[in-house]
Structure 1
Amino acid sequence: MKRKLFVPMFVTTVLLASCGADPTENQTTAPVVEKEKSTTKQTTDRWEATAADTEVSHIHGAGFWQDGRPVIATHTGLMEFREDGWYELSSNRHDYMGFELVVDGFYASGHPALDSPYKNPLGVVRGTEKGETLEIRSLEGEADFHYMSVGYETESIYVYLEQATKELAPGFYRSLDGGVSFEPMKMDGIEGRGIAGITADASEPKRVFVCGPDGILVSDDGGDTFEPFDDQGNIVTMAAAKGQLAYIAKTGTSFDLVVSDLTDETETSIDLPSMNGDNVPIELVMEAERLLLATSDNSVYVFEDEEWTQLLQAGKVK
């Protein structure tokens, strides 16, 4: 039985900024796929090469597929990078929010394509087969989680709910059953601190980090109590891999990338790629020795073999 949940009141400045994307406008028409038992599945390859000069907008998530290829979630669906350039999934072209990779798929929220059988918003979606198969886990037609983080190995989900649903008040929630149900996080220890982001640990189901202008805090009890992890300035984005946490701090007009080893408590600094002055890092993903970075002008960079390569410049496909 579901129970009505309320987040306890606390004094905290929440700085989570809305992505501001229109839920259904300017989306590309996709094939209508029959909906059956909250699952959509295609059996044919629907990946197509992206045309040169295509403008990519609203990157709301990124990662590395299980085959190692970089993938981004955009206003009009999923795109992956191959040796010969960008490709896009022509089906299930939803406006994904909170896109997060897990061992054998991904989780997301957001808004359905215009001709989709799904209700708007999507609620919590679990995808497999690189997005060709989708399963609604909960809150279809009720919740759009712009701020959702999922443990890569654990599939523990941590979210910030901006607008109330039928049973959930706005606030911070966790799900330890893959998005089927949610319970409120008490968030003790964050009073008076601004929060701009939330990141689930990759392998510890009840470890979660929050960051903002006052640094990073960590919880080992599913978000009920937090303690300082790093107080070094304004953290704009962060990412977790097994035993590691990477974060980008802003100092004045410059940005610094640090990778923290959670086992031996050592830190390593990595030079960021050269970016325009108005460019801000918005998405950071870490996988072993690789990093994926997306910025506010819809540029995408990959870090491997100790160097950065630009995959997308200011949202324009070459």
Structure 2
Amino acid sequence: MRAFKQLIYPFSVGIALLPTKAFAHGGAEEPSAGLPLSMYGLVAMGLLLILFVAFYLNVKKKVQALQNVKKNEDRKKREQLSKRLQLIKWGWILSIVGVVITGSLTVMGDRLTATESEVYLEHVHGLGYSADGKRIVIPAHDGLKSYSDGHWDNVEGEKHDYMGFAAVDDGFYSSGHPAPGSDKKNPFGVVKSTDEGKTFKTLDLYEEMDFHLMSVGYQSHAIYVINPQPNSRMDSTGLYYSIDDTKTWAKSAMKGISEEPTAIAVQPIDKAVVAIGTETGVFLSKDNGDNFEKVISKGQATSLFFNSNGTLFVGGYSDKPYLLKWNVENKQSDEIIIPDLTEDAIAYIAENPVKANEITFATFKKDVYVSNDNGGTWTKVADQGKGIEEKKQ
């Protein structure tokens, strides 16, 4: 029993030195700690090993000091210290074993997490493709997520909350807010990235504005925003556009629209063509948003997208969700059959810039569907935000 007490003392000291979060469960700060339990075990075993080594060296020094004593009392003390030294030596050996075991568990746990981790879309704030057409890219409140070849990934880079996301031929433009712990300022104003969010360049209204409704011409890079409040570059609310990467802004008259915008899309090449969705349909302008004509009256327009040919895709809701393709030139529309969406609708649409027959859309309930045959058939790749991994045969 006495020997046990001698061993338990250094163990207690080691435990006392551990971070209290190692034993906290369900606390508000737990997710931010970011360390698995096996890592805390490894730290504990490492601390114990250091303590046992320190105790061993200290006791060994005392034993050596009593090596040639003649008094009976000193000899008994030396024998007691020698026994304690053996116990500490065993504790030292067990600590080494513990370090090896917990280290192995940590490595195995990291590998297991890497292979079994799931991608979750907390929110969906946009939708687009990488310029090479190989990846669907989604800003999801906590950074960018990508889907490629049946597999979901978290895109490298800080986990910013991108809003007004717009994919273009050399990257993307966006607005939004910085990730927790980032040195970036809030809000973003207008930023641009050419490396899928690893870095970005601030263009305008940094620390001043967050644009939720923003669209950028895929090739022209003409930027259109619905400005929610006056700021240092825009005197009032309304539709503004820039054709020189925000060096200058112009305000559109928006004649013909008296309703609240719900969606916006810019023609990929023609800088002057912009479409705006409202509660009652879709309006089109061919003069930078000064004059609009109502071109679709089919209930609320929830999403708009121009493909590379200038065809306008319209997602909306009129008794039920719908998806249309509208030809700007001949004003003909074709409805695309979509999967049943229960109390849901299309929030974002995109078409692969390399494979024109590949379309994808995301819903307000964070379902994501992909079609490889122009909407003839659909594959669900995310269910209420949870990424669905394709099972390989």
Normalising by structure 1, report the TM-score.
0.79
- Corresponding residue for residue 310 of structure 2: 243
Partner of 1:307: 377
Counting aligned pairs with the same residue, the percent is: 32
Which has more helix, going by share of residues? 2
How many residue pairs are counted as aligned between the two chains? 274
Amino acid at match of 2:124: I
The equivalent of 2:198 in structure 1 is 132
Alignment of 1:18-97 (within 5 A): 52-68=117-133, 69-97=135-163
Q: CA deviation at 1:137?
A: 0.8
2:384 corresponds to which letter in structure 1?
A
Which whole-Å CA distance do the structure 1 matches of 2:151 and 2:290 have between them? 44
CA contact (8 A) 1:148 1:160 kept: yes
- Counterpart in the other structure of 2:239: 172
Please report how far the alpha carbon of residue 244 of structure 1 lies from its aligned counterpart in structure 2 after TM superposition.
0.4
Do the aligned partners of residues 81 and 123 (structure 1) sit closer, same or farther apart at CA in structure 2, a change above 3 Å counting?
same
Alignment of 1:3-18 (within 5 A): none
Q: Displacement, 1:181?
A: 2.9
User: 259, 271, 291: which one pairs with 1:225?
Assistant: 291
* Mapping of residues 150-161 of structure 1, within 5 Å: 150-161=216-227
Higher strand share: 1
Distance 1:230 1:220 in 2: 16
* Distance apart, 1:266 and its partner CA: 3.1
Question: For residues 244 and 119 of structure 2, what CA distance do their matches in structure 1 show?
Answer: 38
The AA in structure 2 aligned to 1:140 is: Y
Instruction: Report the aligned-residue RMSD.
Output: 2.5
Distance in 1 between residues matched to 2:247 and 2:254, nearest whole Å: 21
| 1:281 and 2:338 are equivalent in the alignment | no
Displacement after TM superposition at 1:243 (Å): 2.0
SS in 2 for 1:131: coil
Q: Structure 1 residues 163, 50: closer, same or farther in 2, change over 3 A? A: farther
- Distance in 1 (CA, whole Å) between partners of 2:185 and 2:199 is 17
Give me the whole-angstrom Cα distance separating, in 1, the residues matched to 2:233 and 2:306.
Answer: 30
CA deviation profile, 1:47-80 (whole Å, cap 9, x unmatched)? x968544432111011111122111011111111
Q: Indicate the structure whose relative CO is greater, using CA pairs within 8 Å and at least 6 residues apart.
A: 1
**Shift of residue 230 of structure 1?**
2.0
Name 2:88's counterpart in structure 1. none
Does 2:338 match 1:268?
A: no
The residue that corresponds to 1:7 in the other structure is none
CA distance in 1, matches of 2:372, 2:174: 26
* 1:316 lines up with 2:383 in the alignment: no
How far apart, in 2, do the equivalents of 1:206 and 1:77 lie?
A: 31
Tell me whether 69-78 or 86-95 shows the greater mean CA deviation.
86-95
What's the CA shift for 1:171?
2.1
Unaligned runs of 5+ in 2: 1-29, 35-112, 389-393
**Of the two, which has the highest radius of gyration?**
2
Letter in 2 for 1:291: I
Name the structure 2 match of 1:201. 267
- Give the Cα–Cα distance (whole angstroms) in 2 for the partners of residues 219 and 49 of structure 1: 48
Amino acid corresponding to residue 295 of structure 1 in structure 2: T
The structural deviation recorded for 1:100 is: 0.6
Deviation for aligned residue 1:149: 0.7
Q: Measure, in 1, the Cα distance between the counterparts of 2:205 and 2:173.
A: 13
Contact 2:119 2:154 in 1 (8 A): no
Contact 1:158 1:174 in 2 (8 A): yes
Query: How high is the TM-score relative to the length of structure 2?
Result: 0.65
The within-5 A match list for 1:176-191 is 176-191=243-258
The alpha-carbon deviation at position 27 of structure 1 amounts to: 10
Distance in 2, Cα, partners of 1:119 & 1:50: 34
The residue type equivalent to 1:290 in the other structure is E
Q: Which residue of 1 aligns with 2:181?
A: 115
For 1:293, which of 345, 361, 364 is the aligned residue? 361
Residues 49 and 141 of structure 1, relative CA distance in 2, 3 Å threshold: farther
User: Structure 1: any 5+ residue segments left out of the alignment?
Assistant: 1-25, 31-47
SS in 2 for 1:129: coil
